[in-house]
Amino acid sequence: MAAELVFFTGTMDCGKSTLALQMDHNRSARGRRGVVFTRDDRAGEGVLSSRLGLSTAAAEVRPGIDVYAYVKTAVAQDPEIDYVICDEAQFLDPEQVEQLALIVDELKRDVFAFGITTDFRTKLFPGSQRLIELADRIEILQVETVCWCGARATHNARTVAGRMVIEGEQKVLGDVGRAQAVGYEVLCRTHHRERRAQLAD
């Protein structure tokens, strides 16, 4: 079976990191070995974590790191490595996404990337855009997130000091549902358009 680049996506809080951890657990429990990457995880550098409290050590993908070269070196040292998991893939540089595709094409290892597609302004993250362009498969996670009104949540919203905003830097770390300077919330399209985040009330 040919190796694949698979992009798992959905809104914030739909279980992407939990699925990444589960996939790594299932494979490692059966003796398979892989490389786990993350970028700017909520739990800190070098950690892939889930809001459910699960976590594992991961290699931090900083700007400029060549992930293909990293995995090629790891495979040279341990040829049994046969998969790569990359969480928070929306934060990767487009060039790093191209390197993930090269891992599939040249090293013949499966790559499973996890990330949100659009930011709080409903604009594509560059990393996600490149994944959409290059992935062999795109899987929309079926764990449905819900807006405060009860409708299906489709958009990610940012709040600053309790107010929803649609301007600012694309990447500012925060978390869902926490009272803090920068917070995030999932909304239906209507309430995102109306700027009606529950945290902003």
Point out the residues that are catalytic: 88
Q: Which of 156, 161, 162 has the alpha carbon at shortest distance from 191?
A: 156
The partner residues of 47 in beta bridges, in order of sequence, read 57
* CA distance to 59, 145, 169, 201, per residue, from 162 (Å): 33, 21, 17, 7
User: 153 near 186, Cβ under 8 Å?
Assistant: yes
Distance of alpha carbon 116 from alpha carbon 25, whole angstroms: 22
Residue 8: what residue type? F
Q: What DSSP assignment string belongs to 143-166?
A: ---B-TTSSBP-EEEEEETTEEES
Beta strands in 79-200 (DSSP E): 81-86, 110-115, 137-140, 155-160, 163-165, 175-176, 182-187
